[in-house]
Structure 1
Amino acid sequence: MDAWANIRLKARACHADALATSGGDRHARALVAAAVKDNGLEVEDFGPEAGFGNNVLGFVERASQLVNVARGQAPEQEAVVIAHEIGHFLLHTDPSHEVTMVSPPTLGGDPIESGAAKVQGYSSRERKEVQADVFAGEFLCPSDWLRVEMVENGRKTTDIASELGLPSKLVLHQAIRALLLPPLQESEPEEIVASHGLDESQAIAATWAMGPLMVDAGPGTGKTRTLIHRVGHILDQQVSPASILALTFSNKAAEEMRIRLSATHPDAAIEMWVGTFHAFGMELIAKWADRVGRTDTFQTFDEAGSLELLERNLARLPLKHFQNLYDPAFELIHVLRAISRCKDELIDPDQYLVEAERALALAPDDESVQRAVEVGRIYKIYEEALLAENAVDFGDLVRLPVKLLQDHPDIRQHCHQKYAHILVDEYQDVNLASARLLRLLVNEQRNVWVVADQRQSIYRFRGAKPANVAQFAVDFSG
């Protein structure tokens, strides 16, 4: 299922209205002008003298219903920027949004996943920017219409882009979606039963109002259903959907949450942040990249990328026990996994090396201790290499956000103000780093609600263990 279906359907409805207003004119300029009129908006341009910055292409002001567009853009780019801002206006409730870059996302809005440890993240833009991009693409060039033009009428994307006055890349991305994904359909709304339709324990959990709660739920006990009802209960209190943060540990579980929430609360689901701890961490790093020594174009390395980085720095590595002249990767993979566990336990290179060298002083002939010292020295070089490459690895996607929130009160305050309600699925998979991140994210109201099944932990290799789950009561006791 297309995780962004609700947004595409809203964009398509907006397109239909605009097409009627424009008298059937599909050109981008005609469509955006019609949508601006339909939604009671106005468009004004601005130049460098306005002081918004050279990289700001446009922004919308909700209160004044004004779309501001940077002067001097190519006509096709300007149309996309206006469509992007119309998307913000229709999808979100924030007072204003600015766009610094418009680049169509790939299938479904998410970057295509490659590799078991690859994270579905959102580059240097927050999720709402991706949503506005998805909206703009579907509004300007609906995939159902595009499929007919290409398949039945044999037209090329370049010709269509020229006719519509759109960037060819946008039409190409819409074509990929149109040809490779099933046609969009209005889904039957999933019935939202009242809380009395739950059993007694589920209803108590879903409507809990006495602070932090951990729900112990095994397979088949309706934990996802209860979580969805919990979200519904929060929304019934007139809480802004944008203040809800729902986290989990696997892409599969995150996708299931998104689909269920989109079915039960289609409009609210657009504004909620739903995804994995690592995808959320990636977004925090992107937003404050300079605070961790990166730029907003940083790379994320999976295990293969990290291994390649070590091999490129092979001459710098003090290899002895982990040296393999014929196949360096054969031994270095074990070093990387040790480093990964360190990051999951929030142990930096200096801390690790100090402890390893202290142990070596006590047991100089112990090979396991010698190996630990070697890992520590490689860890230090590896971190320097990551920094030089403007890169992070999988473990950094939680470790660095913990550092951001610990070291920077302004970032912590931003998150506390933004996310008033935090829900976590699969809490049995929590490790020290993700538990610390959760604790730092929760504000003084302590509206945190988690569901766990300690019999089903699948991430013990990343430091998940029952003691971390038991620590919940201590962490959020007040």
Structure 2
Amino acid sequence: MAAQQLRRQHCPEAAADGLRSFDLIARIAAAEAEDFDISSTRPDDTALCGADAVLVRAFRQILVRDDVEPPDRAFLVAHEFGHWILHPEEQEGCRQVIVSTLNPAEDDTLGAKRVEAYGARERAELQANVFARELLLPRPLARALFLAGHTASWIAADLALPLELVRQQLLDALLLPEDGLADDAPEPALTPTDEQRDAARSPVRTSLVVAGPGTGKTATLLMRIEHLLANGAKPAELLVLTFSNRAARELVDRLAANGVPDAHEMWVGTFHAFGLEFLRKNHERFGLRPGFGVADKMAQIALLEPHIYGLPLRVFNPLGDPLPWLDQAVKTMQRAKDELLDAVAFTRVVEAGAVQADAERLALDRDLALLYRTYEALLRANGGLVDFGDLILLPAQALRANRAEFAPSIGRFRHVLVDEYQDVNRASAELVKAIAAQADSLWVVGDPRQAIYRFRGASMRNIVRFADDFPQHREFRLNENWRSFEEIVRVVEHTGRDDNPLQGVLPLGGVAPIRGPGGVRPTLVSCEDESIAFGELASRVLGLQAEGTAFREQVILANRHDTCDAAAAALVAAGIPVLHLGDVFQRPEVKDLLALLQLFVDRSGSALVRIAQLPGLALPAPDVDVLLDHLRHTRPAPLSWLQAPPADLSPAGAQALQRWRDTFGGLTSRDSPWDVICSLLFQRTRWLADYANGSDMQAVTRRLALWQIIYYLRVPDGGRVYQTVGTFLTRLRRRLRLADDRDLRIPPPEAELLDAVAVMTIHQSKGLEFEAVHLMDVDARHFERSDDAPWLPEVLTQSAGGVDEARSEAANRLYVALSRARSSLTLYEEKGYFKAARAPAVQRAAHLLNCVVGTVAYAVGRHAAALTALAPQVPVDLREFVTYRTCPRRYYYDVMKQLSPAAGLHPAARIEAAVMRELFVPAGGDVSAPVNDVAVELAMLTEEYEPARPHLLAYAVQLLDAGRAWSGTVRAAMASPIDVVCDGLPVRVTAHRVTRQDNVVTLHFVRAQPSSAYAKQHKILRWVLKCLNQQFRQYRFQGSMYVLSSRVSEHVRPYQDLGFDHLVEMGHELMEGRFPAKPNAWVCSGCRHFLYCPA
């Protein structure tokens, strides 16, 4: 690395022993080879132009603001050294170096971080930051000092470095792979085909290149760039737009590897990165502040939610927990922006369709339009935020209206190139049209059969109907496949032609496999069940590795994340190295950190069940029970009990708590989660030293997961507001409920060269290729059309020129998955899963496949080892059995351990529970006893939910009124319990009211919110009613469910014939005292025990 080379060149002894930062900087600056003048100046000096530091290249001078401490000054100078060595062009001043690197609380939002990853400016700044960190504290030195027993603060003081820099270097040094494997020697350059040359040298103003998988799309794009430069174009005149950060990174790397001169002067990046830079340069024209942020979905909902309560909404109920419908509403707004519909245009569309729409749909659309207008007004109120859709919509609208006004921003781009054009949305297509209107050439490349991002707003109609936007274009087709053997090409070709709705609009031509035949057909393995599917998978991965296909040259693909997780677990159990992080928030090492954070906000101390097992914090199990019982009854402030623990602890427990006081002393819930975790890991414990050991892939994966989550703690989440431990945990749960954590499943680039089998979804595999592909679950249900969300107005779901986009995308997913393979392709079907049918496209391609029956079985458990404890007291309460049916481990925490953390439940859920306690007392209870449960819950609201207090109170009043109207009294006693034996399980049924007419007995139940007929509670109640009818044959039992929020009663009929025995089986497991965890992304994120389960 250049930074370490510079360090060794001028300070050879420092590479091993360390050197104070300002001495190191002085040596380098004074060296004859460098000879830099480093000067300090006032922050308001015009020479700085508002920057933290400036490199004046012509005079070999670095100017630095004079109001920073010496360690920060050393970092700023080192950052400019990075620009001097890495970026020969002139740089603007580095305005946000201190903020972005050394003060994370003031840094960009998570949304902006996602967009900026590979923008031209951000790339240069990131490179200079990494250079500075490696120059001042090389990773090997950081690792050695920490493993020698030194803390982060000691290293910072000893070497005169910013503490924040030391933390980052320690994380990278201890948790990231050092070098992976040495990369393979570069493949010899392939001779361009006539197709590629013709496309790259296109003389026409607008060119569309349709490039199928493996036909050299990226190589042709690079050839086009080189052709333009060879014919007089200047690098700064080229704009290259991509769909993803990964594609942008690949292009930048390939340009550098090809030695393209002055490649740094080109603008290469994503559409969103371009839009962000455009808005930053022209912020005043859009009413934006210079440092505006980018709102991701979390920030969008946080912005809108406080204002929904006063809106005259007809369909959406803002009271209670509005997150589920707010999620869908925000998605609808973003999809509208994808189609160039701002709030005004969206409202116009809704009203234009009012005559044809039914009353229910019109009410829904008008609610959405009102929410959209409210959201836009809030977003524009102070110029501080835009959202992802705005990054495309606002530039596209502005350029269409007055391109000349923005000529300084886009006028230099004479040649526009677009990669992956099939993945752009309508707004992106209009942006391309506007930018290219005065350009000398527009050259786009894509493949409609690889369009699989419709759920993100992408529309294949932009490429299918390209001629509508650019009537004078010329089309080029790349039909020579360099990637795959002929046997694979023929299967891919079959699915892209005979089984794709696009064939009638854009026929797939004959594909020529340049590599010729490989001698082995792709294989379809038919498996009876999951154990055989995974057994065959493991066996075939090992077989290919034995034949010379390295683990890292193989990939497991699946449609769903849970299939990926299960496949990865199977391979790990078989001893195969796997690169797969999965759901990082379900990983044990991450749960340890989350449980630590929960201790700072939870009065019940429930996370003790996990934390008390960590190294250095171990507590005897009886003392854990004593502490939990004490906290359950006293509910002191979080962690205050360390100073006043219960008197009946054992001597060993009391001694252990002294270690706890040393570990947690001085840290509070008001601190940032980044500061808390860094303090625990780098100052107060040696846990990371333990994690740094181990070279097997499981140890490496643990470190990668920790690296992902700890850096995630560093970035302000959901907006610019400084986040505390409490607000972070609240936002994290909301983010998980929104399924907005997928980015954390992707390993960092440093892991790419590890020799391990990759496991990913088909969407994640886009743009990649592997020697061997293993495609799981090739049954029809995984390749069916997926319709848009039902809230989208029809104008947003129009088909592409007569092609059913949803059906085409389903066919495209299979096409993309199959075409990732170079030499080996294996498909696996699991016939036993609800009698799954084979995907029709695979069935019709059977003559091209080697069809075999799987026989190798491998038993793999999907979930954590089951907990076995004492059997519960019987009879089991009906509501408790519903909990067991949802998750046995949750039952264990709720009933057996009686854990009751307030942190984790949405306040609306706690208000609902409080309302039920105010409405009903147990049978025989005193209905006149004073009660204030709702007031207590409102008093315990955290700062994050304080603005919602009046609305939660209104919600409580609404529910209380409905309940009292139903019962006819202020507070009612519940009915006497009825005991029944359900297939061997003694169950106690306590209804809110029991009525009888003749021999018909109706059990009346009350709940706050409705549940579907397929909900667990509904099914269990039908089962119990069936058992009551069998046990008390003189009566006929039925049920009724009254919903407080809607004031509607629903009739519940008993099962006549159960038809399945899983409820019976679960009853037996409960009686045996078995409490396994059942991870489920949706259920777990709403569980109050999530952060420390399983423990």
Structure-1-length-normalised TM-score: 0.81
Contact 2:38–2:61 at 8 Å: present in 1 too? yes
Contact 1:76–1:165 at 8 Å: present in 2 too? yes
* Alignment partner of 1:446 is 2:440: yes
- Give the 5 Å matches for 1:307-456: 307-323=301-317, 325-360=319-354, 362=355, 366-388=359-381, 390-406=384-400, 412-442=406-436, 444-456=438-450
Q: For the residues of structure 2 that align with 1:393 and 1:150, how far apart are their CA atoms?
A: 41
Q: Residue 11 of structure 2 aligns to a residue in which SS?
A: helix
* Alignment partner of 1:11 is 2:3: yes
Task: Give, in angstroms, the shift of residue 21 of structure 1.
Answer: 10
* Alignment partner of 1:58 is 2:53: yes
Task: Give, in angstroms, the shift of residue 365 of structure 1.
Answer: 6.1
Structure 2 counterpart of 1:149, one-letter code: L
Contact 1:420–1:443 at 8 Å: present in 2 too? no
Contact 2:314–2:363 at 8 Å: present in 1 too? no
Q: For the residues of structure 2 that align with 1:96 and 1:460, how far apart are their CA atoms?
A: 39
Contact 1:126–1:283 at 8 Å: present in 2 too? no
Structure 2 counterpart of 1:397, one-letter code: L
Task: Give, in angstroms, the shift of residue 217 of structure 1.
Answer: 0.8
Q: For the residues of structure 1 that align with 2:232 and 2:10, how far apart are their CA atoms?
A: 31
Contact 2:101–2:165 at 8 Å: present in 1 too? no
User: Could you report, residue by residue, the CA deviation over 1:63-93 in whole angstroms, capped at 9, with x for unpaired residues?
Assistant: 3333222334322222222222222222224
Q: Residue 119 of structure 1 aligns to a residue in which SS?
A: helix
Q: Residue 318 of structure 1 aligns to a residue in which SS?
A: coil
Q: Which moved more, 1:217-226 or 1:92-101?
A: 92-101
Partner of 2:277: 283
- Give the 5 Å matches for 1:189-338: 190-191=186-187, 193=189, 197-234=191-228, 243-265=237-259, 272-323=266-317, 325-338=319-332
Task: Give, in angstroms, the shift of residue 193 of structure 1.
Answer: 2.4
Q: Residue 97 of structure 1 aligns to a residue in which SS?
A: coil
Contact 1:28–1:165 at 8 Å: present in 2 too? yes
Q: For the residues of structure 1 that align with 2:374 and 2:133, how far apart are their CA atoms?
A: 43
Structure-2-length-normalised TM-score: 0.38
Q: Residue 62 of structure 2 aligns to a residue in which SS?
A: strand
Q: For the residues of structure 2 that align with 1:100 and 1:382, how far apart are their CA atoms?
A: 31
Q: Residue 330 of structure 2 aligns to a residue in which SS?
A: helix
Structure 1 counterpart of 2:305, one-letter code: E
Partner of 1:144: 140
Task: Give, in angstroms, the shift of residue 407 of structure 1.
Answer: 5.9
Give RMSD over aligned pairs. 3.8
Task: Give, in angstroms, the shift of residue 190 of structure 1.
Answer: 3.3
Q: For the residues of structure 1 that align with 2:118 and 2:187, how far apart are their CA atoms?
A: 35
Structure 1 counterpart of 2:371, one-letter code: I
Structure 1 counterpart of 2:366, one-letter code: V
Partner of 1:161: 156
* Alignment partner of 1:85 is 2:80: yes
Q: Residue 443 of structure 2 aligns to a residue in which SS?
A: strand
* Alignment partner of 1:135 is 2:127: no
CA separation of 1:438 and 1:263: change in aligned 2, threshold 3 A:
same
Q: Which moved more, 1:446-455 or 1:466-475?
A: 466-475
Q: For the residues of structure 2 that align with 1:61 and 1:294, how far apart are their CA atoms?
A: 30
Q: For the residues of structure 2 that align with 1:375 and 1:236, how far apart are their CA atoms?
A: 52
Task: Give, in angstroms, the shift of residue 265 of structure 1.
Answer: 4.4
Q: Which moved more, 1:238-247 or 1:430-439?
A: 238-247
CA separation of 1:337 and 1:253: change in aligned 2, threshold 3 A:
same
Task: Give, in angstroms, the shift of residue 321 of structure 1.
Answer: 2.3
Q: Which moved more, 1:127-136 or 1:427-436?
A: 127-136
Q: For the residues of structure 2 that align with 1:199 and 1:135, how far apart are their CA atoms?
A: 40
Q: Residue 149 of structure 1 aligns to a residue in which SS?
A: helix
CA separation of 1:123 and 1:229: change in aligned 2, threshold 3 A:
closer
User: Could you report, residue by residue, the CA deviation over 1:153-209 in whole angstroms, capped at 9, with x for unpaired residues?
Assistant: 332222222232221111211222222222248856735727xx1221122223445
Is there any run of 5+ residues in structure 2 with no aligned partner, and where? Answer: 474-1095
Is there any run of 5+ residues in structure 1 with no aligned partner, and where? Answer: 1-8
Q: Residue 380 of structure 2 aligns to a residue in which SS?
A: helix
Which of residues 10, 20, 23 is equivalent to 1:27?
20
Partner of 1:4: none
CA separation of 1:241 and 1:365: change in aligned 2, threshold 3 A:
closer
Structure 2 counterpart of 1:383, one-letter code: E
CA separation of 1:165 and 1:324: change in aligned 2, threshold 3 A:
closer
Contact 2:44–2:50 at 8 Å: present in 1 too? no
Task: Give, in angstroms, the shift of residue 429 of structure 1.
Answer: 1.2
Q: Residue 213 of structure 2 aligns to a residue in which SS?
A: coil
Q: For the residues of structure 2 that align with 1:143 and 1:287, how far apart are their CA atoms?
A: 36
Q: For the residues of structure 1 that align with 2:240 and 2:185, how far apart are their CA atoms?
A: 21
Task: Give, in angstroms, the shift of residue 340 of structure 1.
Answer: 1.5
Q: For the residues of structure 2 that align with 1:30 and 1:207, how far apart are their CA atoms?
A: 54
Which of residues 174, 177, 185 is equivalent to 1:182?
177
Q: For the residues of structure 2 that align with 1:120 and 1:128, how far apart are their CA atoms?
A: 15
CA separation of 1:315 and 1:240: change in aligned 2, threshold 3 A:
same
Contact 2:242–2:269 at 8 Å: present in 1 too? yes
Q: For the residues of structure 2 that align with 1:366 and 1:267, how far apart are their CA atoms?
A: 63
Structure 2 counterpart of 1:220, one-letter code: G
Q: Which moved more, 1:72-81 or 1:166-175?
A: 72-81
Contact 1:246–1:424 at 8 Å: present in 2 too? yes
Structure 2 counterpart of 1:448, one-letter code: L
Partner of 1:5: none
CA separation of 1:236 and 1:376: change in aligned 2, threshold 3 A:
same
Task: Give, in angstroms, the shift of residue 259 of structure 1.
Answer: 4.7
Q: Which moved more, 1:455-464 or 1:241-250?
A: 241-250
Task: Give, in angstroms, the shift of residue 453 of structure 1.
Answer: 0.5
Contact 2:226–2:260 at 8 Å: present in 1 too? no
Structure 2 counterpart of 1:161, one-letter code: A
Task: Give, in angstroms, the shift of residue 370 of structure 1.
Answer: 3.6
Q: For the residues of structure 2 that align with 1:58 and 1:71, how far apart are their CA atoms?
A: 10
Contact 1:245–1:421 at 8 Å: present in 2 too? yes
Structure 2 counterpart of 1:176, one-letter code: L
Partner of 2:167: 172
CA separation of 1:199 and 1:287: change in aligned 2, threshold 3 A:
same
Structure 2 counterpart of 1:291, one-letter code: R
Q: For the residues of structure 2 that align with 1:174 and 1:471, how far apart are their CA atoms?
A: 50
CA separation of 1:216 and 1:398: change in aligned 2, threshold 3 A:
same
Give the number of the structure whose residues are more often helix, by fraction.
1
Contact 2:236–2:266 at 8 Å: present in 1 too? yes
Q: What is the count of residue pairs matched by the alignment?
A: 461
